[in-house]
Amino acid sequence: MTRSVGGAHYGLRDWLIQRVTAVFMTGYALFLLGLVLYWRPLGYARWKALFDQPWMRYATLLFFLGLCLHAWVGVRDILMDYVPVTAIRLFFHVLAIMALLVYSMWAIRILWSNGI
Amino acid sequence: MRFSIYRYNPETDAKPYMRDYQLDIDASGKMLLDAILLLKAQDETLSVRSSCREGVCGSDALNINGRNGLACITPLSDLKEPIELRPLPGVPVIRDLVVDLSQFYHQYRAIRPYLVNQDPEPEIERLQAPEQRAELDGLYECILCACCSTACPSFWWNPDKFLGPAALLQAYRFLADSRDQATNERLDYLEDPYRLFRCHTIMNCVDVCPKGLNPALAIGKIRSLLVKRTI
């Protein structure tokens, strides 16, 4: 029997990232939901004023980056489970990473679309 | 009682098939294994493993009406007819209800299921406090029947890389042992994205364990140990 004690050591890190980002995203989502319910009816002016605040932009950016990291671990998990052929799995890994990077850049563009 | 049993003899059958059986038996007080042994007396080509007949050896693990369990401790009267018997899912079939568990044992061996202790051997035994011994309850009782691992989708997809609930329960059994000194090496081995972290807490293992053990809890405790070590 061949037994490699080494192995890749990022299992714990990725698992932890997924848990931590989940907690942050839950907090952000509850905060936003609370705000929307508290401000009913929510007009454009109020929404815009909220997202003009730098802290809201940064919090939202953190939310999107967290979402991307969370989604990366989740998508990778699905690929590890269901795509046994290494070459195809690598292809989908790269595809997922590129898509998530594009989404992140897109999120930055939207958040800072009317200047800093 | 009516039975529908998975039959496959690789030497004569091109494909596995289900065969129906009838058995005149009073179900009260009898276990499924009693019925299977009577069926085998009727049709001696039926292959099945069994040994202790009392849920200690783990030989007669089967998929009973879609759920893994030990035939010898499954009351016949609890089962809905026709009773559908299949081999454990996700592992190679040798013949009929007999499966090849090499992969399962391989994963068990990989976690080093023995005490690693470099201290000089004491004259009589390595002592434990009652509380230290109590840490092993719910872990040492595993009989390696493979009901849990073969019910685990993560083990179906990656039986060569994911250790499976049975081996992980045993991995924790030795991590939790106060006499073991290889905690760091054991955790190093488990930090891999496949070996432990293919577990998505589906909990089929807890659902089917005929000994009422909780591999998902043990896996959670290994994760806590890994977090504590790293953070």
Which residues of chain B does CATH 1.10.1060.10 include? 102-230
Asked if pLDDT for residue A1 goes beyond 90, the answer is no
- Flag whether residue B228 sits within 8 Å of chain A, measured between CB atoms: no
Q: Give the DSSP letter of residue B70.
A: E
Distance in Å, alpha carbon of A89 to nearest chain B alpha carbon: 14
Which residues of chain B does CATH 3.10.20.30 include? 2-99
The CATH code of the domain at B102-230 is: 1.10.1060.10
- Flag whether residue A2 sits within 8 Å of chain B, measured between CB atoms: no
Interface test with B, best of A19, A23, A80 (most B CBs within 10 A): A80
Please state the rounded mean pLDDT for residues B13-31.
94
Higher pLDDT, A34 or B231: A34
Distance in Å, alpha carbon of B26 to nearest chain A alpha carbon: 45
Alpha carbons B28 and B227: distance in angstroms, whole number: 50
Q: Which of A9, A81, A82 sits opposite B191 (nearest CB)?
A: A9
What percent of chain A is predicted at pLDDT more than 70?
92
The pLDDT value given to residue A6: 62
- Residue B63's DSSP bridge partners are B68, B86
* Residues 6+ positions from B175 with CB-CB distance below 8 Å: B183, B186, B187, B221, B222, B225
Q: Which of A8, A81, A82 sits opposite B192 (nearest CB)?
A: A8
Taken in order of first residue, the domains within chain A and their CATH numbers are 11-111 (1.20.1300.10)
- Residue B68's DSSP bridge partners are B63
The total number of residues written for chain A in this structure: 116
Alpha carbons A86 and B71: distance in angstroms, whole number: 39
The CATH code of the domain at B2-99 is: 3.10.20.30
Interface test with A, best of B111, B183, B185, B191 (most A CBs within 10 A): B191
Q: Which of B106, B188, B230 sits opposite A1 (nearest CB)?
A: B106
What would the pLDDT profile of B48-87 be if each residue is shown by its tens digit? 999 999 999 999 999 999 999 999 999 999 999 999 999 9
Closest by Cα among B193, B187, B113, B196 to B152: B196
Do residues A35 and B143 lie in contact, with contact meaning Cβ atoms separated by under 8 Å?
A: no
| Beta strand pairing call for B83-86 and B98-99 | unpaired
> Chain A partners of B200 at a C-beta cutoff of 8 Å?
77
Please state the rounded mean pLDDT for residues A12-26.
96
Least confident of A24-28, A43-47, B40-44: A43-47
- Flag whether residue B160 sits within 8 Å of chain A, measured between CB atoms: no
- Provide the chain A residues 29-88 that lie in CB contact (below 8 A) with chain B: 77, 80-82, 84
What would the pLDDT profile of B81-117 be if each residue is shown by its tens digit? 999 999 999 999 999 999 999 999 999 999 999 999 9
Count Cβ neighbours within 10 Å for each residue of B203-226 and write b for 16 or more, e otherwise: bbbbebbbbebbbbebbebbbebb
Partner-chain contact A14 B195, CB within 8 Å: no
Alpha carbons B139 and B147: distance in angstroms, whole number: 15
Rounded to two decimals, what is the model's pTM?
0.91
